[in-house]
């Protein structure tokens, strides 16, 4: 791996290369907006991004890049080789949409319908991945025009299934990594962005170290003893025990761990038991999510969930099965890399527009790349300037809306990060 150099100022700030990024971005930004609107109008769900991938691959081929398709099912990778060896930088965008029916009144609103888990649903880019694709396509075009200035390699990763593969399927960043997207290309570092509907256009927000939470799924099954509802003493009631376990789980974060060290969330989202009103069933099952921002805290909470559920069940004569699945790790920004690249972000957006943000309990599978190589993941403003964030529709909702005026900052940020890292580490 090439060393990460902490620089006092952006290598390209005010340089001819920086001016070239500015010029070429201004020339491609109209196409970026057109691409984004096309992807928005014709969204595709996770692991089903067939037409999206075709459009991405066609653009990368037109730029003369080495292009690989079918990675992690529908993923696309473009490789730009500069004038010499040098560092290898990866830039990543995700491509999938969500099973959400759009309510936004725009000319390019999605009218797509499909079947998801047996139900007819609308399909919408309700998290902004359409903008991520278009911005990275724009950055690829800008950087390709500058091929003769690049003493290294840039890998453009267009990833499917960030929102999670359908049940029974693999997908997303984890599968991209397993299939060698970093290893086979000898990637040294990776950069990625996420649009945010509640951050003003023109702003960049970031956080060193843990920036987005690990998202783990747990299933707790309580085994009791079935009996008639009129004689609960004749059995062991798994529903009552489940209720006690749910209350017990809520005291883990509030009473059993050092909450000031790292925030965490334990939520039960589903509980299922029984078939009719007058039968106490034999078993009950609850399903929930765990969000943590620190790997040590994550391990402690997993242990306490198992201990709490087991002991509450034992106190009532029941047993439990506790299954915890680590779905997405903490999205971790390498502190040294973040410090090294901050001048680049300052030069791109203006220092006053680059803001440290609190950690969030949402999750991002960019984390799988950052487990393998140093990574920096930041947030790009997509809210109309002057709007109250409380009035902006959140992600994953039918009213999700993006202001496109800040897309050029995204294109320039990705291009400048790649150029500056290569120049500082060649």
Q: Is 169 among the residues known to form the active site?
A: no
Instruction: Report the C-alpha gap between 49 and 95 in whole angstroms.
Output: 7
Residues in contact with 117: Cβ distance below 8 Å, sequence separation at least 6, in sequence order: 166, 167
* DSSP labels, 379-406: EEEEEPTT--GGGSPPTTSTT----GGG
What is the C-alpha separation between 409 and 200, in angstroms, rounded? 12
Contacts of 231 (CB under 8 A, 6+ apart): none
Which residues, in sequence order, are CB contacts of 293 under 8 Å at separation 6+? 210, 212, 213, 214, 262, 263, 264, 330, 359, 361
The pair of three-digit structure tokens given for residue 402, joined into one six-digit string: 């993006």
Backbone angles phi, psi at 418, to 5 degrees: -65, -50
Q: Does residue 403 have an active-site annotation? A: no
DSSP strand E in 49-103: where? 66-71, 75-81, 88-94
Instruction: Please pick, among 96, 141, 163, 364, the residue that the annotation labels catalytic.
Output: 96
Collect all residues with Cβ–Cβ distance below 8 Å to 26 and sequence separation of at least 6.
408
- CA dist 218 and 269 (Å) reads 10
- Considering just the CA atoms, what is the radius of gyration of the chain in Å? 24
Which of these is catalytic: 44, 162, 365, 420?
Answer: 162
Tally of CA atoms within 13 A in the half-sphere of 280 that contains its CB: 21
Are 394 and 198 a contacting pair, CB within 8 Å?
yes
Q: Which residues have a catalytic role annotated? A: 96, 162
């Amino acid at each position: 791996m090439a060393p990460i150099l902490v620089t006092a100022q952006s290598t390209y700030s005010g340089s001819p290369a920086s001016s070239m990024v500015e010029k070429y971005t201004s020339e491609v930004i109209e196409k970026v907006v057109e691409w984004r609107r096309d992807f928005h109008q014709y969204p595709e769900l996770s692991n089903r991004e067939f037409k999206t991938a075709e459009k991405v691959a066609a653009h990368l081929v037109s730029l003369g890049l080495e292009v690989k398709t079918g990675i992690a099912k529908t993923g696309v990778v473009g490789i730009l080789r500069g004038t010499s060896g040098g560092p290898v930088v990866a830039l990543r965008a995700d491509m999938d949409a969500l099973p959400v029916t759009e309510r936004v009144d725009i000319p390019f609103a999605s009218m797509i319908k499909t079947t998801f888990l047996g139900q007819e649903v609308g399909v919408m880019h309700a998290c902004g991945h359409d903008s991520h694709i278009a911005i990275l396509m724009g950055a690829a075009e800008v950087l390709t025009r500058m091929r003769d200035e690049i003493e290294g390699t840039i890998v453009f990763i267009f990833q499917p299934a960030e929102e999670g593969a359908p049940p029974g399927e693999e997908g997303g960043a984890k599968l991209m990594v397993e299939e060698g997207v970093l290893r086979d290309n000898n990637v040294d570092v990776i950069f990625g962005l996420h649009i945010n509907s509640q951050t003003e256009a023109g702003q960049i927000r970031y956080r060193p170290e843990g920036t987005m939470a690990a998202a783990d799924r747990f299933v707790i099954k309580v085994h009791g003893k079935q009996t008639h509802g009129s004689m609960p003493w004749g059995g062991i009631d798994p529903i009552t025990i489940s209720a006690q376990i749910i209350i017990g789980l809520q005291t883990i974060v509030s009473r059993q761990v050092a909450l000031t060290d790292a925030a965490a969330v334990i939520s039960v989202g589903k509980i299922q038991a029984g078939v009719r009103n007058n039968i106490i069933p034999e078993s009950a099952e609850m399903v929930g999510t765990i969000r943590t921002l620190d790997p040590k805290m994550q391990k402690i909470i997993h242990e306490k969930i198992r201990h709490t559920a087991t002991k509450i069940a034992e106190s009532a004569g029941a047993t439990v099965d506790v299954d915890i699945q680590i779905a997405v790790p903490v999205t971790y920004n390498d502190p040294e890399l973040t410090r090294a690249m901050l001048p680049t972000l300052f030069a791109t957006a203006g220092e006053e527009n680059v803001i440290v943000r609190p950690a969030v309990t949402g999750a991002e599978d960019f984390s799988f790349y950052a487990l393998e190589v140093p990574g920096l993941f930041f947030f790009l403003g997509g809210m109309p300037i002057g709007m109250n964030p409380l009035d902006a529709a959140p992600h994953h909702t039918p009213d999700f809306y993006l202001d496109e005026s800040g897309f050029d900052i995204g294109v320039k940020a990705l291009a400048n990060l790649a150029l500056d890292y290569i120049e500082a580490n060649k």
